[in-house]
Structure 1
Amino acid sequence: MKDRNQMSDEEMLHRLSAHPQIRNRIASLLSAVDDSAGDLKLADDAELRLTQELQRMGQEAMQAWANVQVNATEQDVRHTGRAHREGKKNSAGTPHLAT
C-alpha cells in the first residue's frame, strides 16, 4: 500500500515548480546536509543551520498554504457571487424619524 505522502519524482518536481520558494528552501537544506560550503565541521553548527532552514521552510510553507487558500476563496466567491465588489452603495440610508 502506497503512503499518501509519497509521490513520483515527476510529480514532486511538478509541485515544487509551482512553489519556487519551497524548492529554493529544500535546495538550501540539502546544501547544509551536504555541507556544500564546508563550514559545518561541528554537529552543533550543523544542527543550528538545519534547524534554521527547517524553520524558514515552515514559514514559507505556511505562506504558500495561505496564498493557496486566498486564491481558492477568491475563485469560490467569483463563481458563486456571494460577495459584492467594492463600489458606491445604492441605499440612501435610513430615513430620519419625524419629530
Structure 2
Amino acid sequence: MQTTHGQSSDPQREKQLLEKLRSHPELLERFAAILDLTQSPSGTADQIEEWLVAEVRRLGNKAMQAWAQSAEEQAAEDLRQKTPRARVRKKRP
C-alpha cells in the first residue's frame, strides 16, 4: 500500500519486487538508469524528459524480450509434456 508518494508500507511486496528484479538483471539495469535520471541535477527539463522517454522505451523492449523468452520456454515445455517423443531443435544461425 502506498501511504505517501514514494513510500511503501508493504515490506513483503518490496521483497517480492526485489526478487523479481534479481531474476531479470536486464530490467533491474533499466530501472536503475531511470532512477538515476530522476535524481540527475544536470540537464534541462526537456533533456531529462527526452532521456527518460528513451530509457522507458529500452525498459519496454527488455520487458518484451523477457516475456517472449518466457513464453517460448513455456510453449516448448507444454509441447514436451503433450508429446514426449517430440524433438526440439534449435534454429541455425
TM range, smaller chain: 0.7 to 0.9
Say which structure is richer in helix.
2
Amino acid at match of 2:15: E
Q: Does 1:23 align with 2:28?
A: yes
| Runs of 5+ consecutive residues of structure 2 not aligned to the other structure | 2-9
**Contact 1:32–1:50 under 8 Å retained in 2:** yes
Q: 1:32 is matched with which residue: 28, 37, 50?
A: 37
2:86 aligns to what SS in structure 1? Answer: coil
Whichever of the two has the greater Rg, that structure is 1
What is the deviation of 1:86?
6.2
Following superposition, which runs of at least 4 residues in structure 1 exceed 4 angstroms of deviation? none
**Is 1:65 matched with 2:67?**
yes
Cα gap change, 1:57 to 1:81, in 2 (>3 Å): same
**TM-score normalised according to structure 2 size:** 0.76
> Do the aligned partners of 2:37 and 2:48 also contact (CA within 8 Å) in 1?
yes
User: What is the alpha-carbon distance in structure 1 between the residues aligned to residue 73 and residue 88 of structure 2?
Assistant: 18
Larger strand proportion of the pair: 2
What CA deviation, in whole Å up to 9, does each residue of 1:42-87 have, x standing for no partner? 1110100000000000001100100110111111111111773169
Going from structure 1 to structure 2, the CA distance change for 1:69 and 1:83 (only over 3 Å counts) comes to farther
How many correspondences in the alignment?
Answer: 80
Of structures 1 and 2, the one scoring higher in RCO (CA 8 A, sep 6+) is 1
| Separation of aligned partners in 1, 2:88 and 2:70 | 23
Instruction: Give the fraction of aligned pairs with identical amino acids, expressed as a percent.
Output: 29
TM-align CA RMSD = 2.3
* Structure 1 pair 79–45 and aligned structure 2 pair: CA distance change class (3 A): same
